[in-house]
Amino acid sequence: MKPTVLLIHKTFTSYLPTSLPVSFYGLPDGNIYIIYSRFYEIDFDHSGLEFVFARHEEFYYNFETQKLILLDNAEELYPVAFELVDKPVPKIKIIKVSRNLQSYNEAQLILDEMASKMTRNSSETLEPVI
């Protein structure tokens, strides 16, 4: 069985606004999705941990060839190294923030579910209508 989510880069020090690990994933839709966690204040002297799901808007991931491609104005430029997804002043769009998760594994399960829906929807549209 072919995976629906591929971890393309993980870093423990990132340019994103967190001091915790950041993971970058390639999905079948060609987008790069990012999962990172950050602290938030619940009340005075008490904090919690929230998980952020974001989409990187400067790169395209070719899921079939497993190549990362730099974009400029939605136009594909050239393949680049995976480490370049973590860059200063990244253009990302936050998709979801979840405060009820306990681990990165739970966050990755949510991303796996999103990717499974993408592949199911694309396979449904590819089937011939009789």
CA 23, distance to chain mean position in Å, is: 7
pLDDT band at 93 (very low <50, low <70, confident <90, very high): very high
Query: Who wins on pLDDT, 1 or 90?
Result: 90
Stretch 79-106: mean pLDDT? 90
pLDDT in tens, 11-58: 999 999 888 999 999 998 889 999 999 988 888 888 888 999 999 999
In terms of pTM, does the model score above 0.75?
A: yes
What are the domain boundaries of the chain?
Answer: 6-126
Share the mean pLDDT of the chain.
Answer: 84
Answer yes or no: is pLDDT of 121 > 70: no
